[in-house]
Structure 1
Amino acid sequence: MATSVHPTAILEPGALLGDGVEIGPYAFVGSEVRLGEGCVLHHHASVVGKTEAGIANEFFPFASIGQKSQDLKYRGEPTFLSIGSGNRFREFVTVNRATGAGGRTVIGSDNLFLAYAHVAHDCTVGSGCIFSNNATLAGHVRVGDYVTIGGLTAVHQHCRLGEHAMLGGCTKVVQDVPPFCLVDGNPARLRALNLIGLKRRGFSEEVLQGLRCAFRLLFEEGKNLSQGIEAVEASGKSTPEITTLLEFLRSSERGVTR
């Protein structure tokens, strides 16, 4: 596959493009950027800084990827952005590099970032996630696989979003969001299991029944978190998903959305 660079695009010396990369009109690629095979930059998109992207990523008009951290502590140290494969960054999406020297912001694969979504410095985003319009992560947020973030939702720095969680639109998240769960509101409240999302991902009814039981013991019987964890363990219910849920809750440092 031939690489294509529009005559009006700016490709700084040193940038490396894989086979089949397409750079559209007025797009900009910085000197330290590495774009894998089949990546596409539409018109006016920019990728800069020490940014590495895998294959078949698509950057839509005015996406700004790899700009320096907006953290006031940042003093120009060399920092990085790593992007997997198959991601789509829609119009005006912004993804920043890390803050501290040698730090890294990491994006997995097959994610969809809708218009104006923002990923701040030092975040880690898994794979298969959907960021709706204006979904916003502050610094150091960790997002598990297959998380869906509703439009106009903001996540406080250092929070974690567990795998297969869903955040409703206009939600304000200031504590960790448990895996497999749905939260909504300002401030966020735990509403239910993310049953529709889990069914769409092909989880079996046996797994869903186990998660329903764990959710009830953890969050619906008035127990504190330690008591809820003990109740789940005493119930004898044990699946990889329940183990993931309990380990996430035990390791929380910011507290858990309830």
Structure 2
Amino acid sequence: MKQPLAYVHPEAKIADNVVIEPFVTIDKNVVIEEGTRIGSNATIMEGTYIGKNCVVFPGAVIGAVPQDLKFRGEKTTVEIGDNTTIRECVTINRGTVAKGKTIIGSNCLLMAYVHVAHDCVIGNNCIIGNATQIAGEVIIDDFAILSGLVAVHQFVHIGSHVMISGGSLVRKDVPPFVKAGREPVSYIGVNSIGLRRREFGNEKIREIQDVYRYLYQKGMNNFNALEAIEAEMPASPERDDIILFVKNSKRGIMRGYFPE
């Protein structure tokens, strides 16, 4: 259903039961799948794909060119999965030649005034709090929660099932299953509440806590901690996810918390 006061480019591909409210602008080379609703004054720009049953609130701008001076007009995209909600005045920029696309997964919630820069990859079931600002080429894995007013440095990797405290400045990689906060952003424990909500049992949570004791509480550097974890703890998907995350970290993982 398209309101007569909305503009939809004739080359846009809009499913029959998409709701488009007044004063929406939809550019060419846009695809919007069935069941999605686009709120008034939203702007959906060239190269945007929006999946099924999404809700885009008023004032959002999706698919604008990157805020990157190296961008030269190359054909790039924004891809948004199914059942994702994008609240008021969110901005999502499309990719650059670096990766070609910005990706937001399915079942995500991006609260008001969030910014997602070029070439970011946000997984499924993520919650991004109000006014959080995510720089270019950031990766956020599934089930991560970033509270309001978080600022994420470019190229940072945030692991799955992470909880980041409001107002945090995230300059280093945040490994999976943890809570992060304070300044500079630091390890403040395993995200046990979030893990229980996702049906992780107590034994599995204790295993994850044991892994992080090696990394953050035994006074070892990361290399020695990883060697000890591999030698002394049995393999499991969670243990191995943490090991691979730390080994592959390009910016280095966040520090432990050392009270003064």
**Shorter-chain TM band:** over 0.9
Matched, 1:61 2:63: no
Aligned positions of 1:1-258 closer than 5 A? 4-100=1-97, 103-258=100-255
- Which range moved further: 235-244 or 195-204? 235-244
**Corresponding pairs, count:** 255
* CA separation of 1:230 and 1:152: change in aligned 2, threshold 3 A: same
Counterpart-to-counterpart distance in 1, 2:46 and 2:67: 14
Distance 1:163 1:189 in 2: 16
Aligned to 1:82, the other structure's residue is in SS state strand
SS at match of 1:247: helix
Residue ranges of structure 2 left out of the alignment (5+ in a row): 256-260
Q: Does structure 2 retain, via aligned residues, the 8 Å contact 1:85–1:108?
A: yes
**For 2:203 and 2:236, how far apart are their aligned partners in 1?**
10
Cα root mean square deviation, aligned: 1.1
Per-residue deviation, residues 21-51 of structure 1 (Å, max 9, x unmatched):
0000111111110000111001111111111
**How far 1:76 sits from its partner (Å)?**
1.3
**Separation of aligned partners in 1, 2:78 and 2:148:** 24
Superposition TM-score, scaled by structure 2 size: 0.96
Identity, in percent, stands at: 39
> What TM-score, normalized to structure 1?
0.96
CA contact (8 A) 1:77 1:101 kept: no
Separation in structure 2 between the aligned mates of residue 145 and residue 19 of structure 1, nearest angstrom? 31
Partner amino acid for 1:64? V
Kept in 1: contact 2:99–2:119 (CA 8 A): no
Aligned-residue offset at 1:101: 7.6
Inter-partner Cα distance in structure 2 for 1:89 and 1:185: 28
1:70 aligned counterpart, secondary structure: coil
Tell me if structure 1 keeps the 8 A contact 2:98–2:119.
no
Provide the secondary structure at the position in 2 that maps to 1:5.
Answer: coil
1:86 and 1:159 map into 2 onto residues whose CA distance is 26
Query: Amino acid of the residue matched to residue 122 of structure 1?
Result: D
CA distance in 2, matches of 1:87, 1:234: 42
Determine the structure 1 residue equivalent to 2:258: none
Pairwise CA distance, 1:19: 2.9
Partner SS for 1:179: coil
Q: Partner letter of residue 185 of structure 2?
A: A
